[in-house]
């Protein structure tokens, strides 16, 4: 006999693992010095979340973006989002250990807040970059993509964490395994 089913008690650590990936993606996006945006050639001009670099007369000129209000807002929103995300990760681990619905709902709400903050930051950056710095054709790089990746993971996990309260018995292991397929 072949049976294929889902044992939720074994799979409950997938959600905190996804949040750990979101934390790693956020750290990569925030700390990347290679830039969020680079020019078409990739050799003359690129900009990270913190600094703008230009290659002029065989040397690199560096200018801080932290003099601009929009860049400060982007940095603040991304860092605040990362701090809340770390806090949500800790609460999710406590929630998975205790299997309490309150922890799942709190984690879901915190993840919605993180997603909103980071969506705002990731929209402010290209809009203001295009207004202030844009001089030709530019591409958004992998570091900017990691910021969006973390945001999408947070948004998806927020919905799942809010729905987990309906599966508490399955997660605790109190229910039998639900078989999707059985052959006789």
pLDDT tens per residue across span 61-110: 888 888 888 889 999 999 999 999 999 999 999 988 887 778 888 999 99
Token couple for 2: 């072949």
CA distance 181 to 173: 20
How much is the mean pLDDT over the chain? 81
pLDDT at 180: 63
Sign of CA dihedral 52, 131, 74, 126: negative
pLDDT of residue 181: 60
Mean pLDDT on 115-140: 83
> Residue 134, Cα to own-chain centre: how many angstroms?
26
For 167, residues 6+ apart whose C-beta sits below 8 A from its C-beta are: 8
Q: Which one of 1.20.140.150, 3.20.20.70, 3.40.50.1820, 3.40.50.10210 gives the CATH number of domain 3-36+69-177?
A: 1.20.140.150
> With contact defined as beta carbons under 8 Å apart, do 168 and 101 qualify?
yes
C-alpha torsion sign, points 72, 78, 79, 83: positive
**Alpha carbon distance 137, 134 (integer Å):** 8
């Amino acid at each position: 006999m072949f049976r294929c089913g889902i044992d939720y008690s074994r799979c409950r650590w997938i959600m905190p693992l996804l949040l750990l990936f979101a934390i790693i993606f956020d750290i990569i996006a925030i700390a990347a010095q290679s830039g969020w945006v680079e020019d078409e050639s990739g050799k003359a001009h690129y900009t990270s979340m913190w600094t703008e670099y230009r290659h002029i007369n065989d040397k690199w000129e560096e200018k801080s973006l932290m003099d601009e209000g929009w860049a400060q807002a982007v940095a603040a929103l991304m860092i605040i989002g990362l701090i809340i995300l770390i806090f949500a990760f800790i609460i999710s681990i406590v929630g998975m250990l205790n299997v309490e619905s309150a922890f799942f709902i709190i984690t879901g709400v915190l993840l919605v807040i993180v997603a909103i903050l980071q969506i705002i930051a990731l929209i402010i950056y290209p809009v203001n970059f295009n207004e202030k710095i844009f001089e030709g054709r530019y591409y958004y790089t992998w570091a900017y993509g990691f910021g969006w990746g973390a945001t999408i993971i947070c948004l998806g996990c927020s919905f799942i964490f809010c729905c987990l309260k309906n599966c508490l018995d399955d997660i605790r292991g109190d229910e039998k395994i639900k078989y999707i397929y059985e052959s006789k």
